[in-house]
Amino acid sequence: KQEVTQIPAALSVPEGENLVLNCSFTDSAIYNLQWFRQDPGKGLTSLLLIQSSQREQTSGRLNASLDKSSGRSTLYIAASQPGDSATYLCAVVESDMRFGAGTRLTVKP
């Protein structure tokens, strides 16, 4: 059974810092991996989707990498801002989508 783990569970950084969020998964036979943002009391907003054949995807200040062989993905956020404060979820797709529990990020002004 696929297990998805996100470490740390919570992270607090000062504004302007570059940071990395981690996602690991146990079964490398995935189709793709998706990173989401969730604001308190809201739904999920898709940030980046990496196909299994890709190594990374970039969108603005966000860069996500995928290493299937080691079962890892990272989400890099450059020059963090208070508006980046949210919970970040990763999910892997095999026959269905499996989610990690998320990392709650706080960016302090």
Name the site residues for another protein (rule: CB under 8 A): 4, 31-32, 34, 36, 41-46, 49, 51-52, 89, 91, 93, 95-102
Burial of 91 (0-12, 13-18, 19+ CB in 10 A): buried
Least separation in angstroms between CB 16 and another protein? 30
Cα 93 to the center of its chain, rounded Å:
14
Nearest distance, CB of residue 109 and another protein, angstroms: 27
Nearest CA-CA partner of 52 in 94, 86, 104, 14: 94
User: Quick one: 26 or 31, whose CB is closer to another protein?
Assistant: 31
Considering the complex, state which of residue 42 and residue 55 has its C-beta at the smaller distance from another protein: 42
